[in-house]
């Protein structure tokens, strides 16, 4: 009986915890393969890890661990802005940073909510 209760408790906790909420949707409406990085502070460094998004496709980045409200908490706990960096290459070096060979835009939580947590490139970067 005790084992069954532990198992039931484990299942309830497992169902109730969304440790990797897929709240944000990034849409690449371009014909190019792009690379992106989400940050809660402005400024990038050489060699940062970026993630691929294929042409005409959608991704739901794993950026936040936690349950309901985790995205909002992480964004608001820093400078209250989620910055999305878009690159044409996956090799981020000093030249790319120095020559600003990327696009970046920041969104506050209220802006993301207005967009239903769906950001489209290049439309929402204008």
pLDDT tens, position by position, 21-57: 789 999 999 999 999 999 998 889 888 999 999 999 9
Buried b (16+ CB within 10 A) or exposed e, 73-95: ebbeeeeebbbbbbbeeeebeee
At 22 the pLDDT is: 83
For residues 41 and 84, the answer to whether their CB atoms sit within 8 Å is no
Which tens digit of pLDDT belongs to each residue from 50-106?
A: 999 999 999 999 999 888 899 999 999 978 999 999 999 999 999 999 999 999 999
CA gyration radius for the chain?
Answer: 18
Strands 118-121 and 25-28: parallel
Q: In whole angstroms, what is the distance from residue 77 CA to residue 70 CA? A: 10
- All domains of the chain in start order, with CATH: 20-125 (2.60.40)
The whole-model pTM stands at 0.81
């Amino acid at each position: 009986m005790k084992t069954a209760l532990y198992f039931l408790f484990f299942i309830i906790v497992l169902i109730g915890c969304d440790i990797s909420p897929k709240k944000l949707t990034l849409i690449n409406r371009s014909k190019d393969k792009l690379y992106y990085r989400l940050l809660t502070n402005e400024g990038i460094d050489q060699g940062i890890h970026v993630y691929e998004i294929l042409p005409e496709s959608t991704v739901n980045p794993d950026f936040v661990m936690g349950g309901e409200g985790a995205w909002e908490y992480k964004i608001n706990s820093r400078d209250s802005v989620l910055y999305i960096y878009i690159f044409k290459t996956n090799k981020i070096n000093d030249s790319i940073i120095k020559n600003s060979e990327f696009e970046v835009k920041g969104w506050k939580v209220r802006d993301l909510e207005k967009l239903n947590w769906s950001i489209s490139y290049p439309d929402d970067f204008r």
